[in-house]
Amino acid sequence: MSSKKYPFQKTDEEWKKILNSEEYYILREKGTEKPFSGKFNNHFESGIYVCKGCKQELYDSKSKFESNCGWPSYDGSKSGAIEFKKDISYGMIRTEILCSKCGSHQGHIFDDGPSLTGKRYCVNSLSVEFKPNKKSK
């Protein structure tokens, strides 16, 4: 991981206590889950997606769309919640997206989204948790 100091810090040992091995691989080692395998790929309930590592709010369900790419996709993020970093791994030039509070890898952003933003935040399901909106009575 980066040597950058984030507001939410944990040692590798501490991360391994709160994340399972797959979550650790994705969030801390910049891994990727298999396409179409994530629980949030076809999830469209109303609520907020938060970082699996630090619980910072990242994406509103209103920004989620069906991209057919195999991973949950959003056309925007909460203001200031995502950090962007050039990624030249695997012989490609991409932009990595990370949680701005803890530096956990979320996925990558692409310029092929269908909405007015033109963005597709391609996110690993294992990097987020979902908090449903509370229904009023």
> Would the pLDDT of 38 be above 60?
yes
State pTM to two decimals. Answer: 0.92
* CATH code, domain with 61: 2.170.150.20
> Would the pLDDT of 121 be above 50?
yes
Of the listed 51, 54, 102, 122, which one is catalytic? 122
- Number of folded domains that form the chain: 1
Give me the pLDDT at residue 134, please: 82
Per the annotation, the verdict on 122 as an active-site residue is: yes
Domain residues for 80? 12-132
Contacts of 96 (CB under 8 A, 6+ apart): 30, 84, 85, 86, 87, 105, 107, 108
Residues 129 and 55: beta-carbon distance below 8 Å: yes
Does any domain span residue 92?
yes
What pLDDT band is residue 3 in, cutting at 50, 70 and 90?
low
Over residues 71-76, mean pLDDT: 97
